Amino acid sequence: MESTVPGNSQGVGTVPAKVVFNRGSRGPGSCNMMAFMTLLAGLVLAIIAIVKNDLTKVTFYGPSTQFTEYCGWNNIHSYDDQSVYNGSPYSFTYSHHCHSDDRACTLERVGKAFYSLLIVGIAFAGFALITFLADTSSIATFLFILICEFLFFACMLADALIWGLFKSCEHYCHNLSFPNLPSSITSCHSKLGTSWILVVIAGGLALLSIKLLTWARCLCHKRY
């Protein structure tokens, strides 16, 4: 006959009930913390990219001079004292030159598309991060976060392609057709700038966060 412990109705030979961890507690939680931090890093890089606004780096060379300009989403600017575009307000804003320069019009359209997508992507990343603080064990919450992260990734990918394919600044550079360019300039070299690189990295982090989130949810279900 099975013996019992006084005050306890459970038999000695009975297997204790399995402890179920509360995955519905508020906060990112241990299972999805890496996904949360990865997405946060991507959001920070996207914000830095839009503030820095250095999408294409253009370096001009002359017999006795060299200076660097940066094409942003809305203007050409520089931090070089020798540059004709140094100072504030900037001396070359796309919208102000669009009526007399077709390339400026192209840059304005592409820049506005880039800026809009970047803002929308940042908003989706923010929504996802706020929702992370809710009950992530809910399937509806999980899907909402996943959708927001995917849309953030899509915006970053579209931005990288839009600015990378429409090489308007490169056309300015190759033809030495920048307005107010000194006659002493003989050559020009352009390459994608820091902000564009940050957008690409932010998109990569968003994709990594998606994978970590789905992996973490599967791991939680397997363990608990």
pLDDT the model gives residue 87: 64
pLDDT the model gives residue 159: 94
pLDDT the model gives residue 47: 96
pLDDT the model gives residue 218: 65
Residue stretches of the chain with pLDDT short of 50? 1-5, 7-28, 222-224
pLDDT the model gives residue 95: 83
Q: What is the pLDDT of residues 150-194, one digit of tens each?
A: 999 999 999 999 998 887 788 778 777 777 777 778 888 889 999
pLDDT the model gives residue 119: 97
User: Which residue shows structure tokens 């990569």?
Assistant: 204
pLDDT the model gives residue 176: 74
pLDDT the model gives residue 88: 55
pLDDT the model gives residue 113: 93
pLDDT the model gives residue 2: 46
CA distance 194 to 46: 11
pLDDT the model gives residue 188: 87
Predicted TM-score (pTM) of the model is 0.78
